[in-house]
Amino acid sequence: MTTATITARGLVKRYGQVEALRGLDLEVPQGTVLALLGPNGAGKTTAVRILTTLLRPDGGSASVAGADVLHAPEEVRRRIGLSGQSAAVDENLTGAENLEMIGRLYGFRRRRAVDRARELLAGFDLADAGDRPAKTYSGGMHRRLDLACALVAEPPVVVLDEPTTGLDPRSRLQMWEVIQGLVRAGTTLLLTTQYLEEADRLADDIVVIDHGRAIAQGTADQLKAQVGGERIELVIADAADRPAARAALAAVAAGDEVHHGSTERSLSVAVREGARSLRVVLDRLEADGVAVLDVGLRRPTLDDVFLTLTGRTAEEEAEPAGGTASRDGRGRHAQERDAVPARPDVTPEVTR
């Protein structure tokens, strides 16, 4: 039997009218990785701040590595490492000085703090920049330094709030590798993200949250199965061919649903066999003489999870939550989601 290293029960947090968390339960067994997946304003940061003793919940309870977040915050702090959504490093200190300071604040002797700092700088590809003030670091370097700061005392539990948001693809890969190294070393990890792909890559278990509540939980595969895996999206030249097109898609459907697109001529369906299914569909359309305008295979995104789970897209969802517009990084997130390859607009309406 494993001991649950992070447990949260019925977490509630209100900011005036806004209910940031509305009874969130979480369970991260020892040595596993849980991803908290949700759009802007879902409550991810709020949950992270409560679990790391930075914020007091209005209701519910939580414990980390056996220590109660409300009653033994000091104990919790001894056992966690946190890398928050915005980097928490001192810009005027060098990378090495930041890490040494944190080591000293953990009660390390000077020698040990210095050695640990060097070790982490080397491990995070920051050795060359270690003696430069952090304000000269790039976004990716900041992120890595921040994560290194979280790991100074080799905590058994690590919490990462959107560790790769704002990073370019190369830095993101680098960050993923670092995180996977942590996981191999047996660290219990809670991370938040807006990207299913990231959760997929890093997490054993995923909790999808929306409006402060878990709306789905499972492994990446289970969630994808719920969403329907990859989708074929098809635009036909002539609306009259629609029944034939639908039949062709239904033949390879993973579930039993063919979605209507925003126009008479667009359709989409979740498929199980990806490229193979695509070929089957194309062959059949050709045989039936259906003229195809556009066709593509697309992997499920957070949007699809949302579409399936809530009948709305994540973007539609994020906006009315309100109040977050001025919070940092928000514009950036939105931009990044827009960078996901465009697809024909699929309405949630379902045909059988």
Partner 1 sequence: MSTLTRTVADTQVVAKRNLIKIVRVPEILVAVLISPIMFVLLFAYVFGGAIDPGEGVSYREFLIPGIFAQTVVFGATFTGAGIAEDMQKGIIDRFRSLPMSQSAVLAGRTLSDVVYNVLSLAIMALTGLVVGWRVRGSLLDAAAAFALLLVFAYAVSWIMALVGVLVPSVEVINNASFIVIMPLTFVSNAFVPLESFPSALRVFVEWNPVSTLTQACRELFGNTNPAAAASDAWSMQNPALYTLICVALILVVFAPLAIARYRQTSR
Ligand X SMILES: Nc1ncnc2c1ncn2[C@@H]1O[C@H](COP(=O)(O)OP(=O)(O)OP(=O)(O)O)[C@@H](O)[C@H]1O
C-alpha to C-alpha distances, 146 to 140, 163, 258, 301, nearest whole angstrom: 10, 10, 45, 28
Q: How far is the CB of 333 from ligand X (least distance, A)?
A: 6
Distance between CA atoms of residues 29 and 13, nearest Å: 24
- Rounded CA-CA distance 306/39 in Å is 9
> Quick one: 49 or 172, whose CB is closer to Mg ion?
49
Distance CA 247, CA 229 (A): 19
Residue from 85, 165, 268, 301 touching Mg ion (CB under 5 A): that is 85
Chain positions 287 to 326 lying near ligand X, rule: CB under 6 A, are: 321, 323-324
Binding part of the chain for Mg ion, among 45-53, 67-75, 177-185, 332-340 by CB under 5 A, reads 45-53
Min CB(193)–ligand X separation in Å: 9
Q: Report 72-111 residues binding ligand X (CB under 6 A).
A: 85
CB of 70 to partner 1, least distance (A): 10
Single out the residue of 15, 71, 105, 180 in contact with partner 1 (rule: CB under 8 A).
105
Q: Which of 11, 24, 35, 44 binds ligand X (CB under 6 A)?
A: 44
Maximum pairwise Cα distance, the chain: 78
User: DSSP letters along 195-222, please?
Assistant: -HHHHHHH-SEEEEEETTEEEEEE-HHH
45 belongs to the binding site for Mg ion (CB under 5 A): yes
Scan residues 239-258 and list those touching Mg ion (CB under 5 A). none
Tell me which DSSP letter residue 81 carries: E
Residues 268-297 that bind Mg ion (CB under 5 A): none
Please list, in sequence order, all residues whose beta carbon lies within 8 angstroms of the beta carbon of residue 337, skipping any fewer than 6 positions away: 194, 302, 303, 314, 315
Q: Distance between CA atoms of 169 and 176, rounded to whole angstroms? A: 10
318 closest CA partner among 340, 334, 301: 334
Which residue lies nearer to ligand X by CB, 223 or 253?
A: 223
User: Would you state the torsion angle of the CA atoms of residues 45, 46, 52, 53, taken in this order, to the nearest 10 degrees?
Assistant: 150
Q: Please state, in angstroms and rounded to a whole number, the distance separating the CA atoms of residues 20 and 155.
A: 28
Residue 20 binds to ligand X (criterion: CB under 6 A): yes
Tell me which of 12, 55, 282, 292 binds partner 1, using CB under 8 A: 55
**Is residue 52 a contact residue for partner 1 (CB under 8 A)?**
yes
Shortest distance, position 13 Cβ to ligand X, whole Å: 8
Q: Is 86 in the site for partner 1 (CB under 8 A)?
A: yes
- Which position has the token pair 């034939």? 244
User: Which of 162/205 has CB closer to Mg ion?
Assistant: 162
Length in residues, the chain: 352
260: amino acid identity, one letter: H
Residues that bind partner 1 (CB under 8 A): 52-56, 74, 77-78, 80, 82, 84, 86-90, 92-93, 97, 101-102, 104-107, 133, 149
Residues that bind Mg ion (CB under 5 A): 44-45, 85
